């Protein structure tokens, strides 16, 4: 890891956004926070580098898209949830119970955390133009990083809320009111595409090096841009569907062609999540880097997921039920799937007697008995890209290519290839189409990585999604009531505090 000293500016509050506070990451040492105002902060390339690192730092929080952010995605899906409807006034339970209220304080916290990252990106993109660079490629690289991170967060926002405020520059206090309005989704997507296109065409390195783990690369930018085009093709203007699918394929293939391995089976599934191999495993494309044993920059996911009476995840002596897994997911794993035994385990403790998440582990002494783990939080990896290539080729009518990519993932998982699987009546009954087979594979491969909810939104129309959830067994879903699910649940409600700023321009989503 590399270390730099830096200070961060105090920022003017803008819209509903949080202040850009002092920031630090596992590869940054903090010094003299908030020492200068934003107006005079950007003096040198070093100042820009520190501010860019501040954007990365904001990805760490579980209030945004960090490792403990499953409440806002995975718990919204059919993979996980919680059977506790009392803690914290029952507000976390509202997410997987499909009884989410606009006044939910966790929802508002998530909204603010996402916009904080956007605020930091906007500050960098404005401030960098005040600095003289002797190396223009370095300047363009910093701009590309800021644009990628801004696009990443807007992609989260637009899929969760639909129309959202689109802010691409720092706002003064006086400008807040006139910019407090929801922009249409197609405009937001255009900005996301523009930012990622700039990143793809920038001097960013093609892939991560050992010294720059956790930094944006062209592989990451192409992967995300491909996913954006795929999402636009399946959820937005259908007149542009084929064009968007072709763009998705182009960028996903650009990412795929940058890989440093041959077939996915060359990388054992467990290696992807092995703390000892995280700096060398070639499947990871973009991640939030954590530092084992460090109280501030370690990972908490292993200890948080561990159930009472278990030691597989961490040396921490857990007193709770750990990371909840729905029976619906457990039953969806095929016999012989190596991902099941690696990802979930049944806890025999009489107080628990349930499955818990074991995908993220660090039970080594270096993590201590406090569970200061070294797991990195993986945001993009090649199995995800490969399955998106299966999906996009399927939509484009090239089933042989789609099946070829699907089989890469199945082969590594120790499962029969697709053609052989379809000869199995049980498999064919559960997944009668290639589309459903790909969705199933994504679920088994990417469980607990916060992809499932977005996959469901992409694979199904609103009516199809309602039917999908209504067709599930309540017995396999815990206390959360499937009967609550309806068309309103396609999007989150706009947080009440944002809606009341201007009920006309910050109009509420239907059903809330």
Task: Give the global pTM.
Answer: 0.93
CA dist 111 and 117 (Å) reads 10
Tokens of 506: 């910050």
Pairing of strands 29-30, 5-6: parallel
Residues in CB range of 459: below 8 A, 6 or more apart: 234, 435, 439
Q: What CATH number has the domain spanning 1-204+460-512?
A: 1.25.40.890
pLDDT string in tens for the chain (512-residue length): 333 333 344 333 334 343 333 333 332 233 333 334 566 799 999 999 999 999 999 999 999 999 999 999 999 999 999 988 999 999 999 999 999 999 999 999 999 999 999 999 999 999 999 999 999 999 999 999 999 999 999 999 999 999 999 999 999 888 888 888 999 999 999 999 999 999 999 999 999 998 889 999 999 999 999 999 999 999 998 999 999 999 999 999 999 999 999 999 999 999 999 999 999 999 999 999 999 999 999 999 999 999 999 999 999 999 999 999 999 999 999 999 999 999 999 999 999 999 999 999 999 999 999 999 999 999 999 999 999 999 999 999 999 999 999 999 999 999 999 999 999 999 999 999 999 999 999 999 999 999 999 999 999 999 999 999 999 999 999 899 999 999 999 999 999 999 998 999 999 999 99
Q: Per this entry, what is the length of the chain? A: 512
Q: How crowded is the C-beta side of 313, counted as CA atoms within 13 Å?
A: 32
Tokens of 59: 């990805």
Residues in CB range of 398: below 8 A, 6 or more apart: none
If 0-12 CB within 10 Å is exposed, 13-18 middle and 19+ buried, where does residue 188 land? buried
CA dist 360 and 187 (Å) reads 37
Return the H-helix or E-strand segment holding 91.
none
Tokens of 458: 């992409």
pLDDT of the residue at 154:
98
CA dist 428 and 445 (Å) reads 19
pLDDT of the residue at 210:
87
Q: What angle do CA 115, 121, 125 make, to 5 degrees?
A: 145
CA dist 141 and 48 (Å) reads 11
CA dist 161 and 32 (Å) reads 37
| DSSP string computed for 255-267 | HHTT-SSSSGGGS
Per-domain residue ranges of the chain: 1-204+460-512
According to DSSP, residue 30 is labeled E
pLDDT of the residue at 173:
83
pLDDT of the residue at 28:
29
Place of tokens 């890209």: 385
């Amino acid at each position: 890891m590399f270390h730099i000293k830096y200070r961060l500016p105090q920022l003017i509050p803008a819209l509903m956004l949080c202040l850009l506070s002092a920031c630090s990451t596992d590869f940054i040492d903090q010094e003299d926070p908030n020492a200068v105002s934003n107006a005079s902060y950007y003096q040198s390339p070093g100042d820009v580098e520190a501010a860019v690192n501040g954007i990365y730092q904001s990805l760490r929080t579980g209030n945004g898209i960090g490792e403990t952010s499953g409440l806002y995605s995975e718990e919204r899906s059919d993979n996980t949830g919680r059977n506790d409807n009392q803690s914290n006034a029952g507000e976390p339970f509202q997410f997987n119970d499909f009884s989410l209220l606009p006044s939910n304080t966790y929802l508002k916290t998530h909204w603010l955390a996402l916009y904080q990252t956007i605020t930091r990106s906007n500050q960098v993109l404005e401030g960098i133009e005040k600095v003289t660079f002797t190396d223009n490629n370095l300047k363009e690289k910093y701009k590309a990083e800021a644009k990628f991170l801004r696009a990443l967060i807007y992609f989260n926002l637009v899929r969760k809320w639909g129309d959202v405020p689109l802010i691409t520059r720092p706002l003064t206090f006086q400008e807040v009111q006139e910019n407090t309005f929801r922009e249409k989704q197609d405009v937001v997507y255009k900005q996301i595409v523009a930012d990622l296109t700039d990143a793809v065409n920038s001097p960013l390195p093609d892939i991560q090096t050992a010294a720059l783990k956790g930094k944006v690369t062209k592989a990451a930018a192409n992967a995300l841009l491909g996913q954006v085009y795929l999402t636009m093709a399946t959820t937005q203007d259908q007149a542009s569907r084929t064009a968007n699918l072709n763009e998705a394929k182009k960028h996903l293939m650009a990412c795929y062609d940058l890989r440093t391995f041959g077939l996915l089976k060359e990388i054992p599934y467990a290696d992807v999540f092995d703390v000892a191999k995280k700096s060398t495993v070639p499947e990871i494309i973009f991640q939030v880097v954590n530092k084992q044993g460090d109280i501030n920059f370690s990972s908490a996911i292993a200890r948080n997921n561990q159930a009472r009476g278990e030691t597989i995840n961490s040396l921490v002596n857990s007193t709770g039920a750990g990371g909840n897994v729905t029976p619906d997911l457990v039953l969806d794993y095929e016999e012989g799937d190596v991902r099941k035994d690696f990802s979930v385990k049944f806890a025999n403790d009489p107080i628990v007697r349930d499955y818990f998440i074991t995908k993220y582990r660090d039970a080594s002494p270096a993590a201590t008995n406090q569970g200061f783990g070294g797991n990195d939080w993986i945001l993009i990896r090649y199995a995800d890209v490969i399955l998106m290539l299966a999906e996009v080729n399927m939509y484009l009518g090239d089933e042989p290519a789609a099946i070829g990519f699907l089989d890469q993932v199945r082969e590594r998982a120790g499962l029969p290839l697709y053609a052989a699987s379809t000869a199995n009546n049980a498999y064919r009954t559960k997944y009668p189409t290639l589309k459903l087979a790909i969705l199933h594979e994504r679920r088994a491969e990417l469980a607990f990585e916060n992809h499932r909810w977005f996959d469901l939104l992409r694979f199904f129309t609103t009516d199809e999604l309602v039917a999908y959830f209504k067709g599930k067994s309540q017995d396999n879903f815990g206390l959360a009531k499937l009967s609550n699910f309806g068309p309103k649940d396609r999007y989150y409600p706009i947080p009440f505090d944002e809606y009341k700023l201007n009920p006309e321009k910050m109009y509420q989503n239907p059903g809330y």
